[in-house]
A and B are shown apart, each in its own frame.
Chain A
Amino acid sequence: MPNIDRREFLKLVGAGGVSVGAGFMLREANKDPREYLIPHVLAPEDFSSGLDTFYNSVCSMCPAGCGISVRTREGRAKKIEGNPAHPVSQGRLCTLGQAGLQALYNPDRLTAPMRRTGEGESASFEEITWEQGLKQVGDRLDLLRAARRGNRVAFLTQGVRGHLAQLFESFMRQLGSPRLLHYDFDHPHTLYAANQQFFGESRLPYYDLANTRLLLSFGADYLNNWISPVHHSLGFGESRQGRADVRGRFVQIEPRMSISGAAADEWIPAKPGTEGILALGLAHHIVAEGNYNGADLGAWTNALADYTPDAVAEQTGVPVNSITRLADSFVDTTPSLAIGGGAAGNHSNGVDTLVAVNALNYLVGNIGQEGGLVLNPEPAGPAVQQHRASYSAMVELAEAARQGEIDILIISGTNPVFTLPPAAEFAEALAQIPLVVSLSSFLDETTALADVILPSHTYLESWGDDFPEPGVGFSVGAVSQPVVSPLYNTRGTGDIILDLARRMGSSSVMPWQNMEEFLKYGWRRIYQRGDSQTLAQGFDAFWTSVLKAGAWGETTNGSTAFTLNPDVIAGIGVAPPEFSGSEEDYPFILHPYLSPNFHDGRGANLPWMQELPDPMTSVVYGSWVEVNPVTAEEMGLSEGDLVDIQSPHGQLRVPVFVYPAIMPNVIAIPIGQGHGEYGRYAKGRGVNPIEILSPLLEPITGNLASSATRVNLTPTGGRVKLVKTGGVSRDLGRDIVQHTSLGVEVSSAADNSIPITEVTT
């Protein structure tokens, strides 16, 4: 030890103490403020530490409109469940709905308004304030409105219902612009048109799966993506094993086995686009066998004369005895139900096909009956079907843009640059519009081309409402409320529109400060429909009860008797489908289908959905093309081989998946991957089959015949390893999934035996 005297010692201690103190103070000053514990002297409302708070709302991950109940803990959303009180979801929810949490907490969300700077390759977005963004757009709107050139404003939104739709309508009416388009890739235009033709109303009926005993589905993937999967799954479950002694039977008719096809008792492959012909074949047999006895029997016999089982068998590829057997069982089983849609509706003969399906229901008399097709009452909320834009409407919009007729395009919640085929030339058209405003929450392909971005809240942070379509046989409505406070500097879509309306001088007509106020205003009308008990409680109590329950409903009295317009019968007939390209050059038919994980691509930025194995193939994180096993063998293809798929309008490269249940000349690619933008999880992954679709149309609706593209398949010699979770998807005699026949109890002795099987690698 060195010798220190007292003085030195004290100096050292002092210096040491001072420096420690200084260091401490320095650290404290530079501390991240989040390290401090902030006590809840004034805790937010509904905030109980350690206890859950549930909020009811409406899911917006697909157009079905299921009611949800969100569990929040200390202001954070933790889990989404179905709302038991909501008639559509009844406490259940699908996989995409469960993933809504990842849309809310997505790392790639747009957090503040932005404006494009620079041109072309060097273009980027800079952050601006709401005032700047709203002013820029609002001033232009005001100018146009004042100059009576409001019709140069176009508004493109995803399909919305309820009061937000009404808001958009009011907004566009103020501008005097007819260019309000609701565009979704998966909107069943042909189904609506078919219903308009047959039932005289452009509204989806209620398909009572729960009470039916035989369901014939012509291409409609009702368990997966078709209009209301949760509700139809509930119906399916109820029909199958929910009733004592009655088991519903399900038949699926489609060229590629979908999830509904896997669940069906019988999967019948029919040539693409001939499902309507098959339906009429069944109808012919029903009438020919004398199983229909309506007054208009003569008209039906005439209309169906050409659809003999032999002729239909030839056109559809379905054997004659299947046709007659199906028709007979459709009549003998009561109640039975026929539904149609999906790929079957996306052909050049789409509307006629779905009219034919409606005809089947009519012939067995299930319209308005339990277990059949029940016509829905008018929705209690705003009905806005007239603005639904088909492919040709979008092409018209693009043309108008190219002609310089559009000054401002506002886009909300839809991604046409991704979901329209390049043949529509939509992205190029956007470049011709001086001001493109996007209200999206994410930087998707369309938003990446915008000039100003005014990002919206996600649905879990927004006010809104919904009147589900299809309805459930009676009037249902639900209010969507925020379950957490907004995470970022975003605003509700309705709030943005109201603000813009104010800026263009429409505040007298649209006086509401925000969406919540507007909703309350709109729901007053619904409140006033109530009975005396409801009216007695006052509107505020009514509103609170609707929010707490998460659903509002109104029973209707009796079922409307339905009479069919005889002109409709005369017009019944399904022409063979048209395809793009010649059969010699393009021997395969491309069957693009909405993937369960991503729907039309909207779910691709959710990591849970990317990692979710595809239900049929178990592939994750990529795309694939499904090829029939015999076709694959003939072409020398096995799993993972890269092939080039070429249509008359484009080309893709994608690995092969050998799929046991697809027709030999049909290949299928799921829709949803192949994003060029849309965040880190979606970008640069897989392929988008929409890119190679040919612009064939269904003439009545202008709907894109997305299942009508012909392609050819060329092996490239390259190979990738398909990432999938499944191993060998064959039982190998191990009886893992055990079967039984109806009414036969299997004895336990058979359960334990393990049969001999061959050695395979």
Chain B
Amino acid sequence: MSLFSRFMDGWRKYRKPGYYDEFDYHWTMTIDLDKCTGCEACVTACQAENNIPVVGEDEMAKGREMQWIRIERYWEGEYPNAKLSFIPMMCQHCDAAPCETVCPVGATYHNQDGLNAQIYNRCIGTRACAVYCPYEVRYFNYYDHEWDSPLEQQLNPDVTVRGKGVMEKCTFCIQRIRQAKDVAKDDDRRRVQDGEMQPACVQTCPTKALVFGDRKEHESQVYKSMNDPRNYRVLDELNTDSSVFYLKKVDA
């Protein structure tokens, strides 16, 4: 084909998230704000699953928290009509992620499952991705972290323990996704079924406010959930095309 059409082909591909024509899976999460109680079970589950270090009181006082999923609180009104809403905030795995474009060494990119992947051993720690992320869900390792023995016995062997100078964030428990895909592949090369794997936060949420799955599968729970009329995306006006849909809180 002509040079120009080859160029246009490349351009079209370049404009797609991750440069893929089509995602293999398109992992999506919905969070029902009418159900979230702010109990933070998801926060601890994520910590346990992903070897997230405890930074200690001094580091917390400096503002260096390390929580891949955090619960944000927003008060409205004043006493006696004060209301408090909780909103879990984790990496939104944006299909038009601002963080992906800015990493000078390409340590963060969009993979074929629609996830925003962070490659720890490529990261040189410029921290530009944390600046560019409007959701502020990227966390930097300011020190090498230690686990008071024998707490390190609890570390998950499927997840890297990050060293200093490296950026990290929610991965939608990519190690669980990988394992589920491996199992599915061994099992006659089928696809991962809806509900077969959950990230740690989704699995533990006591109110079932978090739902996770592949939106390419139209029978999945997450597909129905994300098409609920209550759905919206946080900071949607920035056109990040995030993969986390929130269901509006109901005033009744």
Bound: A169/B36 CA distance, A:
42
Question: Are B32 and A629 closer than 8 Å at their CB atoms?
Answer: no
Bound: A212/B16 CA distance, A:
47
Taking the closest CB of chain A, its distance from the CB of B90, in whole angstroms, is 14
Question: Are B236 and A752 closer than 8 Å at their CB atoms?
Answer: yes
B232 at interface, CB cutoff 8 A: yes
- B-side contacts of A487, CB under 8 Å: 150
- A-side contacts of B71, CB under 8 Å: 613, 615
Bound: A110/B78 CA distance, A:
48
- B-side contacts of A620, CB under 8 Å: 57, 60
- B-side contacts of A738, CB under 8 Å: 33, 232, 246, 248-249
Question: Are A725 and B208 closer than 8 Å at their CB atoms?
Answer: no
Residue of B32, B154, B209 contacting most chain A CB atoms (<10 Å): B154
- B-side contacts of A729, CB under 8 Å: 72-75
Q: A93-B204, A95-B40, A730-B75 are in contact. Are A80 and B48 (CB under 8 A)?
A: yes
B207 at interface, CB cutoff 8 A: yes
Bound: A105/B155 CA distance, A:
11
A196 at interface, CB cutoff 8 A: no
Question: Are B54 and A229 closer than 8 Å at their CB atoms?
Answer: no
A425 at interface, CB cutoff 8 A: no
Candidates A77, A105, A612, A740; contact of B251 at CB < 8 Å? A740
Question: Are A105 and B154 closer than 8 Å at their CB atoms?
Answer: yes
**Chain B: interface size category:** 35 or more
In the complex, what residue of chain B is closest to A268 when comparing beta carbons? B80
In the complex, what residue of chain A is closest to B152 when comparing beta carbons? A105
Candidates B70, B200, B247, B250; contact of A741 at CB < 8 Å? B250
Question: Are A739 and B44 closer than 8 Å at their CB atoms?
Answer: no
Taking the closest CB of chain B, its distance from the CB of A342, in whole angstroms, is 15
Per-residue 0/1 for B65-95: is the Cβ within 8 Å of any A Cβ (1 yes, 0 no)? 1010011111111111011111100000000
Total A-B Cβ pairs within 8 A: 235
Candidates B45, B55, B73, B153; contact of A618 at CB < 8 Å? B73
- B-side contacts of A94, CB under 8 Å: 39, 41, 206
Candidates A81, A259, A745; contact of B39 at CB < 8 Å? A259
Question: Are B246 and A616 closer than 8 Å at their CB atoms?
Answer: no
Question: Are B37 and A746 closer than 8 Å at their CB atoms?
Answer: no
Question: Are B39 and A615 closer than 8 Å at their CB atoms?
Answer: yes
Candidates B38, B85, B149, B209; contact of A259 at CB < 8 Å? B38
In the complex, what residue of chain A is closest to B38 when comparing beta carbons? A615
A101 at interface, CB cutoff 8 A: yes
- B-side contacts of A79, CB under 8 Å: 45, 48-49, 156, 200
Query: Which of these binds chain B: A14-22, A200-208, A230-238?
Result: A230-238
Question: Are B74 and A736 closer than 8 Å at their CB atoms?
Answer: yes
Candidates A81, A107, A230, A731; contact of B151 at CB < 8 Å? A107
B205 at interface, CB cutoff 8 A: yes
Taking the closest CB of chain A, its distance from the CB of B147, in whole angstroms, is 9
Question: Are B39 and A660 closer than 8 Å at their CB atoms?
Answer: no
Which B residues between 195 and 252 are near A, CB-CB below 8 angstroms? 200, 203-209, 229-230, 232, 234-237, 246-252
**Chain A: interface size category:** 35 or more
Query: Which of these binds chain B: A153-161, A239-247, A434-442?
Result: A239-247
Per-residue 0/1 for B126-153: is the Cβ within 8 Å of any A Cβ (1 yes, 0 no)? 0000000000000000000000111101
Taking the closest CB of chain A, its distance from the CB of B81, in whole angstroms, is 9
- A-side contacts of B83, CB under 8 Å: 262, 267
- A-side contacts of B251, CB under 8 Å: 265, 739-742
Bound: A232/B203 CA distance, A:
17
A378 at interface, CB cutoff 8 A: no
Question: Are B237 and A752 closer than 8 Å at their CB atoms?
Answer: yes
Which A residues between 727 and 752 are near B, CB-CB below 8 angstroms? 729-731, 736-742, 745-746, 751-752
Question: Are A751 and B48 closer than 8 Å at their CB atoms?
Answer: no
Question: Are A660 and B61 closer than 8 Å at their CB atoms?
Answer: no
Bound: A661/B82 CA distance, A:
6
Taking the closest CB of chain A, its distance from the CB of B79, in whole angstroms, is 6
Per-residue 0/1 for B26-50: is the Cβ within 8 Å of any A Cβ (1 yes, 0 no)? 0000001111011111011101110
Candidates B33, B43, B76, B206; contact of A237 at CB < 8 Å? B206
- A-side contacts of B76, CB under 8 Å: 730-731
Question: Are A596 and B39 closer than 8 Å at their CB atoms?
Answer: yes
In the complex, what residue of chain B is closest to A97 when comparing beta carbons? B41
Bound: A257/B155 CA distance, A:
36
Taking the closest CB of chain B, its distance from the CB of A107, in whole angstroms, is 4
Bound: A305/B178 CA distance, A:
67
Candidates B39, B45, B154, B229; contact of A224 at CB < 8 Å? B39
Taking the closest CB of chain A, its distance from the CB of B166, in whole angstroms, is 20
Question: Are A107 and B150 closer than 8 Å at their CB atoms?
Answer: yes
Question: Are A229 and B60 closer than 8 Å at their CB atoms?
Answer: no
Candidates B153, B155, B203; contact of A81 at CB < 8 Å? B203
In the complex, what residue of chain B is closest to A660 when comparing beta carbons? B82
Question: Are B151 and A607 closer than 8 Å at their CB atoms?
Answer: yes
Candidates A80, A237, A260, A628; contact of B35 at CB < 8 Å? A237
Q: A607-B151, A612-B40, A738-B232 are in contact. Are A247 and B55 (CB under 8 A)?
A: no
Q: A234-B207, A660-B79 are in contact. Are A107 and B148 (CB under 8 A)?
A: yes
In the complex, what residue of chain A is closest to B43 when comparing beta carbons? A612
Q: A92-B205, A229-B39, A740-B250 are in contact. Are A101 and B60 (CB under 8 A)?
A: no
- B-side contacts of A99, CB under 8 Å: 44, 48
Residue of A610, A611, A662 contacting most chain B CB atoms (<10 Å): A611
- A-side contacts of B149, CB under 8 Å: 107
Taking the closest CB of chain A, its distance from the CB of B36, in whole angstroms, is 8
Question: Are B252 and A661 closer than 8 Å at their CB atoms?
Answer: no
Question: Are B60 and A740 closer than 8 Å at their CB atoms?
Answer: no
Question: Are A101 and B206 closer than 8 Å at their CB atoms?
Answer: no
- What are 29 A-B contacts with C-beta separation under 8 Å? A81-B203, A81-B204, A91-B203, A97-B41, A98-B204, A104-B154, A107-B150, A223-B39, A230-B206, A233-B37, A237-B206, A240-B34, A240-B35, A242-B208, A262-B83, A262-B84, A262-B86, A269-B79, A607-B148, A612-B40, A613-B65, A615-B40, A661-B84, A729-B74, A739-B251, A740-B230, A742-B252, A752-B236, A754-B237
Given contacts A234-B206, A661-B75, 14 further A-B contacts (CB under 8 A): A78-B154, A82-B204, A92-B41, A93-B45, A223-B207, A237-B206, A257-B82, A267-B80, A608-B44, A608-B54, A615-B40, A660-B84, A730-B75, A745-B229
A-side interface residues toward B, CB under 8 Å?
73, 76-82, 91-95, 97-99, 101-102, 104-107, 223-224, 229-230, 233-234, 236-238, 240-242, 247, 249, 257, 259-260, 262-263, 265, 267, 269, 487, 596, 607-613, 615-616, 618, 620-621, 628-630, 660-664, 680, 721, 723, 725-726, 729-731, 736-742, 745-746, 751-752, 754
| Closest 8 A/B residue pairs (Cβ) | A237-B207, A233-B206, A660-B82, A98-B44, A262-B84, A737-B85, A661-B82, A621-B57
